[in-house]
């Protein structure tokens, strides 16, 4: 089981209202989609933001959301490289990073 599915399993109680999961192309494949639906429910749709196969410039709005979120996380020094031993520690620092981002926008 990959780390994202482990995080879903750990936080399942707080993810009851999730209807759609948008993931990077690293999570492509049936096992990820089936695992996500098994954990969060059959009503959840899994969308993968893939790069264009033609190597031409094309704006892809869904992929932009994923890349932008990763860029926001990497601005925080502790999240620049994932060197934490426990998944819970990484998850807490990700929550803190997004909370600071939201607080700055208020």
pLDDT in tens, the chain (106 residues): 588 888 889 888 888 888 998 887 778 778 888 999 999 999 999 888 776 655 666 666 677 777 777 787 777 777 766 677 787 888 888 888 888 888 888 7
| CB 73 within 8 Å of CB 47 | no
Q: Which residues contact 79 (CB under 8 A, 6 or more apart)?
A: 73, 90, 93, 94, 97
pTM of this prediction? Answer: 0.52
| Res 59: pLDDT | 65
CA distance 31 to 68: 26
| CB 8 within 8 Å of CB 15 | yes
| Res 58: pLDDT | 65
């Amino acid at each position: 089981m990959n780390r994202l599915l482990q995080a879903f399993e750990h936080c399942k109680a707080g993810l009851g209202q999730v209807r759609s999961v948008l993931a990077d192309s690293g999570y492509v494949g049936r096992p990820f989609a089936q695992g996500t639906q098994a954990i969060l429910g059959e009503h959840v749709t899994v969308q993968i933001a893939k790069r264009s196969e033609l190597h031409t410039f094309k704006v892809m709005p869904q992929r932009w959301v994923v890349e932008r979120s990763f860029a926001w996380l990497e601005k925080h020094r502790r999240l620049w490289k994932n060197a934490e031993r426990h998944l819970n520690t990484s998850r807490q620092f990700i929550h803190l990073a997004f909370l600071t981002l939201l607080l700055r926008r208020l």
